[in-house]
Amino acid sequence: MRNFLPYTARLLLFIAGMAGIFSCSKGPALHDRDEMLEFSVDTLVFDTVFTTVGSVTRHFKVFNRHPNDMVIRSIRLAGGPESPFRINVDGIAGPEIRDYTLRANDSMFVFVEVTIDPLEEDNPLVVPDSIVFITENARQDVNLLAWGQDVHLLDSVTITTRTWTSGKPYLIYNSLLVDTGQVLTIEEGVQIYLHRFSTIYVAGTLLVKGTVENPVVFQGDRLETMYRDIPGQWNGLYFLNGSGEHELENMVVRNASSGIHMGNLFTGDPAPRISLRNVIIEHMTYSGLSSIGGTVRAENLLITDCGRYSILLTLGGDYHFLHCTVANYWAYTARSTPAVLIADHYRVSDDQVLTADLVAAEFGNCIIDGRKETELGLSRWNEEGLFGYRFSSCYLKAPPDLFANDPEHFENIFTDTDPGFVSLYDPPDFTLLPEAFARDKGDWEIAQQVPFDLAGNSRLVDGAPDLGAYETIPEK
């Protein structure tokens, strides 16, 4: 979802330019290769680095493959003290290290970091340099390449009413609070990055106005390829009791601990109310959507890859899910909890259990699927209170005895085979195959309430809507 060019494409764009940039620093080299160093890389590349913040530390190895010791007269940054890069050779900091002896048939590590000054530019920029190695008779180098991105940096702030627009991304350090009575509006295409352990707390109102073509994206600030789908990089979005009417449309929340959490205990303020439309929540260590007595209306919600619960509804509440897909194929650890758990209580401790009415938990034309044999849990504590739930025209990964002969709570339920997703892994794709079981199984009246799917396609063109968040488009 990032609006940056893919890593490989960006390298290709600049490879010719890099040759010209670095050629002037190479100088003469020995023709006798028996006297030259070897390197584990010829170019050390940093993926997008946010300005002022600094990068992760990267490294490469330098080898002396020869039977004699080699004295490296100088290891230095070509850009000198003004370079945005920093080097460290076996504990010795740069920008220049002199007279370093590399033993015969030995190697050493060179560690590199980079910090890029703000340039007041919206688009990413390339920042080059090189590390020059001078031995007795040779001059060699390793190229350095970083991609810099200016950001709006927000560090431990409480904000009042404002609008975030696309352009420079927003980077949140040490959490952010939308204050009571204030409104944060986020326009289409905005990219929000959160540093480790950071949270967005909402005591006021959050309005997210993404579009299908340009969704709003919340994710961690580790942009290296290996962190693309690693959960737990930040905490999540937390909506507090007493906050406003939240409307979240066309947005992606990824790689957090709890994607969207609603509500808190021991307060007289009303629980949060949230409308979710065209929302993707993926790669969470704990839960995708969790609520303590809240109110939710969700349309075209996709939740995947959660360590415990995809949807956790506790202490009652009022919930309506239409054309949603839950596909919990979490693979990092064993998961003992169902993908969806609905409860009228919240266990504070072994001695204290709070209860409240479950006014409604309604699911229509939805898919609830995952690795476990049973991915739906219902937990009632107070037999005297309300416990209203209903599943209509849904695929449920659950044994038939859970819903058989219970027309009050289950109508037109499918569980015969898997739904027919295109792919569960590498990369996952939760659209439906042309021959998928979940195709054309949806209820027409429910589909009319949500006539377009998560990708913006009409559900009503063929008269037989599919289950879940995506509609399969018939071939012409």
Which runs of consecutive H residues, i.e. helices, occur in 323-472?
444-449
- φ, ψ of residue 444 in degrees (nearest 5): -65, -40
Q: How far apart are the first and last CA of the chain?
A: 29
Report how far residue 162's alpha carbon sits from residue 158's, in angstroms, rounded to the nearest whole number: 12
**DSSP-assigned letter for residue 81:** G
Contact 38, 65 (CB under 8 A): yes
pTM of the model: 0.84
Please give the pLDDT value at position 34. 57
Please give the pLDDT value at position 475. 66
Question: Cis peptide before 95, with omega less than 30 degrees from 0?
Answer: yes
Report how far residue 404's alpha carbon sits from residue 441's, in angstroms, rounded to the nearest whole number: 18
Q: Which residue is associated with the tokens 């709890």? A: 258
Contact 187, 214 (CB under 8 A): no
Contact 339, 368 (CB under 8 A): yes
Longest dimension (CA), the chain: 89
Report how far residue 18's alpha carbon sits from residue 82's, in angstroms, rounded to the nearest whole number: 19
Q: How many CB atoms lie within 10 A of CB 404?
A: 10
Contact 175, 153 (CB under 8 A): no
∠329-434-390 over CA atoms, to 5°? 55
Please give the pLDDT value at position 3. 39
Sequence length of the chain is: 476
- DSSP calls for 290-305: EEES-EEEEEEEEEEE
Please give the pLDDT value at position 33. 54
Taking only the tens of pLDDT, the chain with its 476 residues reads 333 334 333 433 333 333 333 333 333 333 345 579 999 999 998 888 888 787 889 999 999 999 999 999 999 999 999 999 999 998 899 899 999 999 999 999 999 999 988 777 776 778 899 999 999 889 999 999 888 888 899 999 999 999 999 999 999 999 999 999 999 999 999 999 999 999 999 999 999 999 999 999 999 998 777 788 999 999 999 999 999 999 999 999 999 999 999 999 999 999 999 999 999 999 999 999 999 999 999 999 999 999 999 999 999 999 999 999 999 999 999 999 999 999 999 999 999 999 999 999 999 999 999 999 999 999 999 999 999 999 999 999 998 888 888 999 999 999 978 999 999 988 999 999 999 999 999 999 999 999 999 999 999 988 899 999 999 987 64
Contact 109, 7 (CB under 8 A): no
Superfamily of domain 7-148: Immunoglobulins (2.60.40.10)
**DSSP-assigned letter for residue 96:** E
Indicate the domain borders of the chain.
7-148, 151-449
Task: Classify strands 139-149 and 70-77 as parallel, antiparallel or unpaired.
Answer: unpaired
Tell me how far CA of residue 175 lies from CA of 115, 152, 160, 167, 389, in angstroms.
22, 14, 15, 21, 36
- φ, ψ of residue 24 in degrees (nearest 5): -70, -20
Q: Dump pLDDT digits (tens) for 163-192.
A: 999 999 999 999 999 999 999 999 999 999
Please give the pLDDT value at position 27. 37
Q: Which of 37, 252, 210 is nearest to 135 (CA)?
A: 37
